[in-house]
Chains A and B, each alone.
Chain A
């Protein structure tokens, strides 16, 4: 408890003297009491506004409560005080209406200035399309041939307390967003299903991802580093498992990274076509299928394939997984509109879809013995 106490004392004494509490809490400080200062010009402005507001509120509170506590001490019946009879004073009422109003104007002006700066998304150096879906983020670099999904990287074994939790528990992803430092990055933010909210506290950027609409936000990060945030709008069962991780790199480093990604994504597409000719064995399909299922499907259909009755349908023993193979492939590829079933054509490769469909048709006692190959998936995807 000692560090907490020391921090609290330090914080209170600084606040009381009206000085800004300039110390930035270190990453993951368990006794962080205050808003993060952040790493952008905007986040610093926001922090200053926060401290201004906080300071004014503390002064008001001290004055009001001070008068109240003095009164509670002095004007007690037990001290033999006889009550005064004064009441109603127009002058006083006007004073305590007008003075707060003037204070408000003092707050409103800097707030409006910062707000105008935050909403100015013009003249960006680059644009990233951010798309939320249950429960992952998708990043698409609008000026480059790079796009990918970003999923929680914390293993289930940590969440269910079977293994010790890592340093960045719930704040780590498989593929972070990478942006260059010193450039104005514009974010276009939208959603494929429910409303999510993309939030990085260090940038003071929080913007809702609304399905069917596109919101704009921007940041300019000058300090290279790893910045972590979370989805901030309740988006269903795994809302708490949808972190945002952004890495800011020096422009040269960023350029090298994005070029490498472009090449890798091009090669992957070519490889996918090449693999169409190859068939996988049942063991390979099941092993790959289980991996894909746990990463992409188990959140809703549950690891045991039983779903959540009334919310997410079971696959174990379901007609979808036992009967018509093309319909099964189709729903995985294209999703089902009007339900939470997403389209996985962009999220998974053809061979991954083949593997996961095979897995679903043979796991948990479904035992159809049927195998699906990448070519079968490609046929449905291309409408053959």
Chain B
């Protein structure tokens, strides 16, 4: 009997130790990548002093820059380059091969081999540090200060931003190292047929117009005017995306000003600001314009419901658009419109680049030139961004139909945090527990509860948030400037 007990103890001990093994890898990737980036940075620093000169004077790098490169001059250029990317679906369905074939019609002597990497975010980082990955890749999450070590400067930020959108995300010290292959814009999803049936002829531009339209949907159709997706949680956090550019037209607000703002949730009185973003939700709940039982919403089910016209509107980013279209038989009814808030007569749209093309800093000059030709062709001539349903990267380029309603809106993307303040927003989010754009789902859920049950009025919720924000600023010693 004693032996039995002992063996059971031993066996369970082994299970415990196994379980412990299972949990360790979670922490290691971050640590190991950190370590590897460091060593790689050291190597390349000794390897090439070239990286330094590139950083100092990008325009001199063989006089290669995105804006000055004229595609027509390089029709006979010959080289062989390799492109690694994350779009495994497009690699498999032949879209990528078709685009390369199209490219080779104009540049017959440039051979492009492509490779789609599953689990891109991690694998690409590992490959990047080995140095032997090819000539073009979608830039993974590297530190901006390391950009010059790995990637060729494409142009100055000033030059590029004249012709392209969203190029600032991989720029450092005024030099751009990446160009997004496509971009996403934040608006909200609606069903066109429901809107037509409800008698809505023009899309709402303000919070009050939107709420009136929701009422029309409720009165005139059987559809749920606004589906909150309360139960899934993270879908509620999506409301945070409209704080900043969309609600006040200021692209420095989210990453620079918010942390220094006193009472960011106060009512500005003109129908703008974060106050009115969340007020839409509160009022919709208070007026019964949401689903009957918000606690049992079903994320997978809602896609088909929007497609079929059982839901009028849903507040989610543009990435959700394609999923809603695929979820049913009437994709033509799925629409996308700017968030209904107008600031000083203008509707603003927050948009940002997806993965960026980056060119290997350690490739031969020949390959660098060919890679830049390829990137420029992909950006300007391939229509890839358009076909993926992305917001145009080229200024004045054509947008997919889903963005038709965005004409006339001002599109912006958030600027980076000021130097030395990069961590402020994270700290404030954690300390205040509001976690704006960082998983603060429960605070938005509470708005739904308060609105639907009438347990608390909206102004007092916003007062609470302001108080939390102020307390956090005091606790962290962050200066109040605005």
A pairs with B: no
